């Protein structure tokens, strides 16, 4: 029964990851005025989408950019950078809801540098531009752009997109986040072939952060809690002895190995990110490494079941185990807040943890029922998961 519950948990996990990729695509999006574009792209970050049509005869580009502000009342932006790949120097279209009328508006920003972000005409013509609020809370920018001759001759442009939290007085944009998703929101748009490619040169750190997050989520956030569940609940079933013990050891040692790898990538990222420190996340990570290391090595110092020190070893083992369990889950959520991946990843992990909690409650009730039934038989030695219930043996504590 426990096995089937755990299996259903992980099927739910993967279904949640796959379903957004199927449903949230640009090809399923419709417009209120039934605009039609030749191409549409699911941009690789910030849950953003670009629809566009390019007419080479007059070098005009018609675009519809869709994204969701990072906070209610925030802004979205799509830009062309004529000379570089980043935001500095880009010619941007920015949309947000007017605080007075509640109507979506779009303005142009010539971002000559990060210190100068003010509304200004662009270096190329924008004959038409509008914005609208969509039913799902996202914003859409519609624009017709006259592509400069030098860019039209190349057939590609550097595009940059972004989302921000709010708009101050005079239309001043509040600074956007500098999380991984925000930093990789740029790429090259092929006007002729209708394709987009990202700039991989600046993505090395992002990939390392993603690897760090995946390793630690799987180890501290999933495998360690799963191993604890096996030790507490599966051992109650006589038929599971001694398989439960080997499953428990396998889960915890695997989690430790993966967790150490994740911890190592975190140290590497820290050494390469001078001046950027996430103290809470860092200290909890160090504590987890120390606690888990002591747990693993103490496995080789475990007293025999009938040894007088076994009672104290059990207290230590359980205390450290539950500490790792709690700190691991806390640090996974701290990592999500730092990395700021697409919302589906955090939602998927929350589904996993909530499901594991629900399964634990169910197994807790089943365990008590099994124990009470066993006692009701007036057995001279109740089964405790560590011996084979032979009548000539005494019950032993874990």
Task: Name 31's Cβ contacts closer than 8 Å, sequence gap at least 6.
Answer: 64, 140
Maximum C-alpha span of the chain = 94
- 317 a known binding residue? yes
- CB 115: neighbour CB atoms within 10 A? 7
212 is in an annotated binding site: yes
Q: Are 335 and 217 in contact (CB under 8 A)?
A: yes
For 28, half-sphere exposure in the C-beta direction (CA atoms, 13 angstrom radius) is 7
Q: What is the DSSP letter of 85?
A: S
**Residue 5 burial class via C-beta count within 10 angstroms: exposed 0-12, middle 13-18, buried 19 and up:** middle
β strands within the chain, DSSP E: 39-42, 49-55, 60-67, 75-81, 91-97, 104-110, 128-133, 139-146, 156-164, 186-190, 195-198
**3-class DSSP state of 327:** helix
Strands 39-42 and 49-55: antiparallel
Name the packing angle between helices 204-218 and 310-339 (round to 10°). Answer: 150
Q: Which residues of 140-177 are buried (b: 16+ CB within 10 A; e: fewer)?
A: bbbbbbebbeebbeeebbbbbbbbbbbbeeeeebeebe
**Which among 212, 219, 220 has a CA at the least distance from the CA of 267?**
212
CA 385 vs. chain centroid, Å, equals 38
Residues 6 or more apart whose CB falls under 8 angstroms from that of 366 comprise: 1, 233, 236
Binding residues, as ranges, are 212, 248, 281, 317
Binding residues for heme b, as ranges, are 212, 248, 281, 317
């Amino acid at each position: 029964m426990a096995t089937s519950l755990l299996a259903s948990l992980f099927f739910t996990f993967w279904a949640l990851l796959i379903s957004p990729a199927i449903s949230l695509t640009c090809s399923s999006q419709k417009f209120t005025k039934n605009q039609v574009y030749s191409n549409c792209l699911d941009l690789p970050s910030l849950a953003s989408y670009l629809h566009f049509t390019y007419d080479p005869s007059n070098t005009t580009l018609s675009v519809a950019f869709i994204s969701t502000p990072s906070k209610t009342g925030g802004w979205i932006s799509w830009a062309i950078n004529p000379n570089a790949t980043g935001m500095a120097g880009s010619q941007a279209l920015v949309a947000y809801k007017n605080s007075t009328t509640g109507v979506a508006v779009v303005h142009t920003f010539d971002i000559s540098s990060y210190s100068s972000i003010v509304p200004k005409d662009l270096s190329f013509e924008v004959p038409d531009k509008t914005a609208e609020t969509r039913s799902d809370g996202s914003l859409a920018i519609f624009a017709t752009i006259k592509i400069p001759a030098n860019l039209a001759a190349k057939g590609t442009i550097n595009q940059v997109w972004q989302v921000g939290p709010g708009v101050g007085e005079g239309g001043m944009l509040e600074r956007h986040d500098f999380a991984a998703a925000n930093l990789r929101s740029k790429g090259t748009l092929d006007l002729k072939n209708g394709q987009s490619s990202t700039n991989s040169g600046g993505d090395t750190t992002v990939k390392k952060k993603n690897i760090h997050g995946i390793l630690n989520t799987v180890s501290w956030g999933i495998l360690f809690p799963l191993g604890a569940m096996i030790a507490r609940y599966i051992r109650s079933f006589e038929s599971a002895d001694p398989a439960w013990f080997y499953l428990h050891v396998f889960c915890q040692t695997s989690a430790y190995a993966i967790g150490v790898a994740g911890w190592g990538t975190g140290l590497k990222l820290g050494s390469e990110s001078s001046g950027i420190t996430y103290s809470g996340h860092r200290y909890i990570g160090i504590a987890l490494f120390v606690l888990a290391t002591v747990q693993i090595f103490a496995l080789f110092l475990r007293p025999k079941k009938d040894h007088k020190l076994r009672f104290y070893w059990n207290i230590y083992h359980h205390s450290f185990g539950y500490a790792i369990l709690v700190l691991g889950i806390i640090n996974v959520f701290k990592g999500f807040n730092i990395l700021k991946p697409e919302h589906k990843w955090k939602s998927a992990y929350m589904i996993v943890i909530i499901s594991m909690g629900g399964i634990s409650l169910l197994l807790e009730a089943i365990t008590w029922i099994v124990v009470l039934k066993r006692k009701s038989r007036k057995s001279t030695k109740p089964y405790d998961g560590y011996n084979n219930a032979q009548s000539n043996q005494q019950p032993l504590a874990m």
